[in-house]
Structure formats: C-alpha cells, structure tokens
Structure 1
Amino acid sequence: MSQHPDIDTQAPLTNFSQCHAGIVRHLDSFDELPALLVPAQRARKIAADFLGFFREAAFDHHQDEERELFPAVLRSSEPGPERAHVQQMVDALTHEHREIEALWNRLAPQLKRLAHGQPADVDGAACSLLVQRYRTHARVEEQEFLPLAERILQRDGNHMAALGLSLHMRHQAPPLAHV
C-alpha cells in the first residue's frame, strides 16, 4: 500500500505541498529523537550500574546483619524486656530484608533487559516502592537499631571486638591451599 495520497489531477502542485507537509510533520517528530536518546542512555546506565551494585551490596549487607550483628546484639542483650525488644526489632528488620529482596528479584529481570538495550516494561511503581522501603528500613536501622546495638555491645568491650573480628573474618578471602 502506498504512503502517497490520491493525486489531485486538477491541482497537481497541491499534491507537492501536501507531501511536504507530511514530510515536515515526520521531520518534527524525528527532530525530537536526539533529545530522547540522552534519557534512554541514562536509563540504561542507571539500570546497569544498579544491577551491578544492589544485589551484591544489599544482600551481602543483609547477611552480615542477620549472621553477625543481630545474633551478637541478641546474645549481649539483658534477658527480659530488653531482649524481647531486640528480638522484635530483629524480626521486623529481617522481614523487611525479605520484602526488599523479593521486590528486587521481581525488578532485576526488567532492569537486565533495560541495561542491555532490550525492550523492557520496567515497573515504575515497584522501583519507587523499593526505594521507599529501603530508605525507611535504613532510617530505622540508623536511628533506632544501631544506637541500641551500640549501647548493648559497649557494655562489654569484648562483645564489640568479637563482632568486629567476626565481620573481618567473614569478608576475608579464603586462604589458598598448599599444593
């Protein structure tokens, strides 16, 4: 099927004018393309950078907290109301870790496609929710849990030192085997 309208044989010059108008309309749209490429390239870069960062950084951070920090604070807390409060906070923070990780696992395939320049329907609401949930989670840890953990662990300097050593060992490369 032709892209050309029917030719008016009575006014042939009008046909040229209409053709120009159609070409100019398409050129106007095409002229927007360079400006749209910058945000598209930025979107791909953000997706690629975040893919390379978030899973490793956030998931490893969650493991450090759940395997090292939370147990250390629970062990060092006083039995009774203090330990119950710490346990409640640990349970809530751990639950938030799983929610954040589930959101990430839902978004990661979309972000991978976007990062590779493939068509991707990235769930904007899920992106915003991940950002909001993590900011809230980090704020609770920074303002509530970590100050409480510091008070509890500083009661006995050995407890703080043990946590530091445990984290250090966890992040060291395994020793090479002798051949």
Structure 2
Amino acid sequence: MNAAPPVVDTAAPISNFNNCHVGIVKRLKALDELPALLEPAARARQIAEESLEFFREAIFEHHLEEERELFPAVIASAQAGDELTRVKAMAKRLTDEHRAVEALWKQLEKGLKPVAKGHSTNLDVSELHRLVTEYQAHASFEESEFLPLAEQILSRNSNHMAALGMSLHMRHVKSVNAYV
C-alpha cells in the first residue's frame, strides 16, 4: 500500500523540512529502544532452548529413575500394613504427578520451540505458570514427605540401601556407555 506523497507548502519550504524531522525523530526514538530489548529477547531464547533440552534429558529421566528404582525399592522394603499402604499411595501420587507434569510439558514444548529459535509464538503463559507451580508442589511433597520416609525405610537394612545405590550406579554406567 503506497502512502500519499506529503503535501508540500510552496509558500514556506523550510517548514517542510521541519515537519519531516518529526517523523524521523519519532522513528529514531523507537530504534533507540532496541538495545534494551535485545538482552531480554536473547535471554528468552536461551531459557527456552535450555529448558527444552533439560526437560527431556533430565526431568523425564529423573521421573523414570524414581519409578523404576526408588519407588519399587521403598515399596519392597516397607513394613506390611499402614506403612506399606502409605508408601504405595505416595508412590502412586508422585507417579500421577509425573504424568500430569509431562503432559503439560508436551503442550508447552510446541510453544517453546519457536522461542528458542527467536521467533514469535503463541505460548500459553497460564499453562507455563501452572507447570512451574505444579512441579514446585510435587518437588516439595517428595522432598518433605516421601524422601524422608524412603530413607527411614531403606535405612533399616543396609543391604536395601546398597542395592538401590548399586542399581542407580549401574543404570548411570549404562547411560554413559551408550554415548561412548
């Protein structure tokens, strides 16, 4: 769409130059804002890129490790009755939370990929806040309730703690050797 040529005041040609500067100065003021915006934009790209990598490589793997190693070890070592019932309920809750957080992540991942590449996106900010809030609550419950109980249960028999440690060690050795 072509803009109409500016009207030239032939009686006062100097004012024509004056009026041109108004638009130029306005555009330059906007351009002057650019440096302040570049750093936050670069930080947004960096956070998105690192989060995409971290979530897949660390958080999903962490959940898998808890579900394959920690939860079964604690359940197997728990005393029959109330303790076993409590541990099973906690492990189920934590596993359900893992799936919920992972599902939220998969929704958000689509919106984060363009951010990581410096493109605009339709990132659902409310879902991003929900993910952060839900994961913080999950981690808090696990650290304040489940892990102390797990340590108490597994510490009753040094062989159980050693078996968990060996299992985790072997899993990590296999993971490292897969990349060698």
Q: Report the TM-score, using the length of structure 2 for normalisation.
A: 0.90
Aligned to 1:141: 142
Match of 1:118 in 2: 119
Q: Are 1:157 and 2:158 matched, yes or no?
A: yes
Letter in structure 1 aligned against 2:12: A
Give how far 1:74 is off: 0.8
Deviation (angstroms), 1:4: 4.2
Between 167-176 and 129-138, the greater mean CA deviation after superposition: 167-176
Using the TM superposition, give the Cα deviation of residue 75 of structure 1 relative to its aligned residue in structure 2, in angstroms. 1.0
State the Cα deviation string for residues 7-49 of structure 1 (Å, max 9, x = none).
2334332222111101101110011011111110111111111
**What one-letter code is carried by the residue in structure 1 that aligns with 2:158?**
G
Which amino acid is the alignment partner of residue 170 of structure 1?
Answer: R
1:29-178 residue pairs with structure 2 within 5 A?
29-173=30-174
Higher helix share: 2
Cα distance in 1 for residues equivalent to 2:161 and 2:176: 25
C-alpha distance in structure 2 between counterparts of 1:7 and 1:101, whole Å: 63
In 2, Cα distance between equivalents of 1:146 and 1:6: 76
**What one-letter code is carried by the residue in structure 2 that aligns with 1:98?**
R
CA RMSD of aligned residues (A): 1.8
Q: Distance in 1 between matches of 2:104 and 2:4?
A: 46
Does 108-117 or 87-96 show the bigger shift?
Answer: 108-117
Q: For residues 176 and 116 of structure 2, what CA distance do their matches in structure 1 show?
A: 36
Shift of 1:87: 1.1
Q: CA deviation at 1:116?
A: 1.4
Q: 1:76 to 1:104 in 2, by over 3 A?
A: same
The Cα shift of 1:3 comes to 6.0
1: CA distance, partners of 2:175 / 2:22: 70
Gap regions ≥5 residues in structure 1:
none
Specify the alignment match of 1:6 in structure 2: 7
Distance 1:26 1:175 in 2: 54
Inter-partner Cα distance in structure 2 for 1:45 and 1:133? 23
Which amino acid counterpart does residue 27 of structure 1 have in structure 2?
L
Q: Which runs of 5 or more structure 2 residues have no equivalent in the other structure?
A: none
Paired amino acid for 1:21: V
Q: Post-superposition shift, 1:128?
A: 1.7
Structure 2 residue matching 1:171: 3-state secondary structure: helix
1:138-179 per-residue CA deviation (whole Å, 9 max, x = no partner) reads 111111100000111111111111111111111222798xxx
Percent identity for Structure 1 against Structure 2: 54
Letter of the structure 2 residue corresponding to residue 44 of structure 1? R
State the one-letter code of the partner of 2:40.
P
Q: Report the TM-score when normalising by structure 1.
A: 0.91
